[in-house]
């Protein structure tokens, strides 16, 4: 299976990516991991990306695309992969098509994780981060034993600026404007399948597998 996972912030893509990659025995390819690895290893692409990051600029598409191309060319991705975090835009999707053509393969499915906006705001704005160890908690779904105090290190919990409800809504607007067009792009190719990303994690995973197996 060669899968692209799309969905708004707070949809649980990272969690489902881990479970689905394990289920299908394929490589889990996260663009966040790709960036961190390239920067940490000081690869030519990592050095270039770091220059933009240090300047406070967005890393250009061509650098991101080159990193993805290198990663998908590695041995563990040859028999399948689940791509999380890329593409984010239609031009990136077109670049991915070119990469896969060069590799002599193609996507099997694009899984869209769908969640109501108000539920996403509830999920994201309820997150609390430990100032000591960085662990994430939640005021509803994953509460510490003592309110406002991390169980692991007794650090004080705080809400990150990007988890403020107004900021969350803006992030969702940006997603709709920039990433949502991917849905139409892949739907036109007959690759899109949608799953309701609500309820227990195991239930979402089962729905996702059922949707993906229906495309194979």
Is 122 catalytic? The answer is no
Q: How far apart are CA 178 and CA 174, in angstroms?
A: 6
Which residue in the list 13, 48, 123, 207 is annotated as catalytic? 13
The helices-and-strands tally (H runs, E runs) of the chain is 9, 8
In this structure, what are the phi and psi dihedrals at residue 186, rounded to the nearest 5 degrees? Answer: -80, -30
In this structure, what are the phi and psi dihedrals at residue 210, rounded to the nearest 5 degrees? Answer: -60, -40
**Side-chain half-sphere exposure of 60, counting CA atoms within 13 A:** 7
Which residue in the list 50, 69, 88, 169 is annotated as catalytic? 88
Which residue in the list 71, 127, 128, 207 is annotated as catalytic? 127
In the block, which residue shows the tokens 């995973």? 205
- Smallest CA-to-CA distance from 207 within 114, 97, 92 is with 114
Which residue in the list 22, 106, 156, 160 is annotated as catalytic? 160
Is 156 catalytic? The answer is no
Q: Does a cis peptide bond (omega within 30 degrees of 0) precede residue 87?
A: yes
Which residue in the list 48, 122, 171, 207 is annotated as catalytic? 171
In this structure, what are the phi and psi dihedrals at residue 189, rounded to the nearest 5 degrees? Answer: -90, 0
Name the token pair of 149.
Answer: 């105090």
Bridge partners of 30, per DSSP, are: 84
- Chain centroid to Cα 92, Å, comes to 15
Is 171 catalytic? The answer is yes
198: number of Cβ within 10 Å = 15
Catalytic residues: 13, 88, 127, 160, 171
């Amino acid at each position: 299976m060669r899968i692209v996972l799309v969905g708004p912030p707070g949809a649980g893509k990272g969690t489902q990516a881990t479970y689905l990659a394990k289920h299908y025995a394929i490589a889990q390819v996260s663009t966040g991991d790709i960036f961190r690895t390239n920067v940490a290893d000081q690869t030519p692409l990592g050095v270039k990306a770091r220059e933009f990051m240090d300047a406070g600029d967005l890393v250009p598409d061509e650098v991101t695309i080159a990193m993805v191309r290198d990663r998908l060319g590695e041995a563990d991705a040859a028999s399948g992969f689940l791509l999380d975090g890329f593409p984010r835009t239609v031009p990136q999707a077109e670049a991915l098509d070119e990469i896969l053509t060069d590799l002599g393969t193609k996507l099997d499915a694009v899984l869209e994780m769908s969640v109501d906006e108000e539920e996403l705001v509830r999920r994201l704005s309820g997150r609390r981060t430990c100032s000591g160890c960085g662990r994430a908690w939640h005021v509803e779904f994953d509460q510490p034993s003592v309110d406002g105090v991390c169980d692991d290190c007794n650090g004080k919990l705080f809400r990150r600026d990007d988890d403020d409800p107004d900021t969350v809504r803006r992030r969702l607007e940006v997603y709709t404007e920039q990433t949502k067009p991917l849905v139409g792009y892949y739907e036109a190719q007959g690759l899109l399948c949608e799953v309701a990303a609500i309820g227990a994690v195991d239930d979402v995973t089962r729905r996702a597998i059922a949707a993906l197996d229906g495309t194979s």
